[in-house]
A and B are shown apart, each in its own frame.
Chain A
């Protein structure tokens, strides 16, 4: 049995079903991210695991111990909040030592633990400071150390970085990830930031309307979004509605599903005309490969599809250039690595777009 096992977690607020029969399991030392837009139930799920919110149905089992009916204080679960939740009347050291003190740990031993934790989060010189004297990032580190002091079996982080500014957020998320790996801590991390989720997780659960819509490694989630919602949420995917796909690929019959194409998998070629290798059978190939996602790709392997378009705008994003190209009435994002040798069309120029059929990801219907 897994280290953490959530089965059939259901939560309603009034008539609203906020969590609908959630199943999730984790192995020890795993970093799981709950990713989703606000209101998808990810924070509620976290609060249900912690016991701060009661559940209507389902069970929470941690290390073969049933937690469902236990009070939060008996669950051996730690939690870090978006608003830090530090005690303003206590110093940094006192905040970190609070749980140990309440547990009746002797002062000497407590001081030792607190000092170790201060070292761990790199705040030794701030031990006398009060929360309001610290920056947001430092406050969140104190909160993290305070939770770690209790040596929880599971650590829950509820958008811990959302209140911080971009630079501190990036540093702290790497620190949290390193800390988690070093301590082999099982963590569940809630965020609405897909970049954050991709960077720090072992596994991502994308949530929507109280349901986990897709679960997998960052690699899987990014390269193979299963539904339109995930494709749109996870990044800058070009999502082609069925009729748009038909128009672009020149299909006679409109397919019954949408397709996602990553901006970086579209290749821009100069000019309006098709390259010389083009043999004129595009319609046949496209029709064969795009008609049904259930069947494996065209047996001939990866087939390039070509269509023409016009550059609408170009944005410089540091190491990549993001083009907005209009083709057949569809606006497509195209990312090109900024570097020597790449073709960089200027705005308003006519271009040919090329995509391999393997890069057209068929999407399941969302239902909603």
Chain B
């Protein structure tokens, strides 16, 4: 029994080491000063972080990423929340349409989608190629699966149609019922959808680079551009980015546990 446990532990440790080694190396590199012929760096420094925080380009790319992702997620929420609610409650037979629609982002490879979008929107009545608008549009499609599934599942979990019926029989209008009963109960689900979508978009590279790479620099594009200039800086960005995603993931897990604990707010 103990021997067996030991064997398992060793295997898992190796696996973890294998997965974490690149990350550890990147982290070390981000904090390393002089590191030439030793296993570990000889001197440590926070200089790369200082340089980073002073770099206007980085800050701008960070801001770009935030507002582009933020607007896209918000737009998706504003459109998808009522849509999913109406379809789930009143037109469950149309769900097949949505189910097939949300697979599209998986079915069409990013590069194909990008080429198609550029062709369509570079001229004609809606010439928005290279502007933030085309990117927001593409992002909207990219996060459809996460938004749709997340919202739909949380509505089905709380049995939104039944709650709506019950509330209506207690003398409130459909809109009040949605606001006072449905919304509070699906809020954890909505939060998870938002966080998930946001972190997916934050790490998106192919679509962003193809569509607006020359005009707008997001964190991912900035990282890509600086990779050839300085390994240290690139490592620093990577570590910052990873920390951010880690925080979001922790948030997601917390939300998940919170929902299991009885959907109370």
Contact = CB atoms under 8 A, between A and B. Distances in A.
Interface of A: 50, 52, 71-73, 77-79, 81, 83, 85-89, 98-99, 102-103, 130, 132-133, 143, 146-147, 150
A81 B166 CA distance: 8
A147 B169 contact: yes
Given A102-B176, A102-B180, A130-B262, A87 B169 contact: no
Nearest to B261: A132
B263 A99 contact: no
B163 interface: yes
Contact of B165 (A81, A86, A147, A150): A81
A85 B172 contact: no
B165 to A, nearest CB: 6
Contacts of A133: 262
Q: Which of A72, A132, A150 has the most CB of B within 10 A?
A: A72
Interface string B83-119: 0000000000000000000000000000000000000
Contact of B162 (A50, A81, A99, A147): A81
A132 B263 CA distance: 10
Contacts, number: 68
A18 to B, nearest CB: 17
A83 B164 CA distance: 13
B166 A73 contact: no
A211 B171 CA distance: 30
B126 to A, nearest CB: 40
Main SS class of interface, B: helix
12 contacts: A50-B169, A77-B169, A81-B165, A83-B159, A83-B162, A85-B162, A87-B181, A88-B262, A89-B263, A99-B170, A130-B264, A150-B170
Interface in B133-173: 158-159, 162-163, 165-173
A52 B162 contact: no
A73 B171 contact: yes
A73 B184 contact: no
B257 to A, nearest CB: 15
Interface string B231-265: 00000000000000000000000000000001111
A73 B180 CA distance: 15
Contact of A89 (B165, B167, B264): B264
Given A83-B162, A102-B176, A102-B180, A88 B263 contact: yes
7 residue pairs, one from A and one from B, having the closest CB atoms: A85-B166, A99-B170, A79-B169, A72-B168, A73-B171, A85-B162, A89-B184
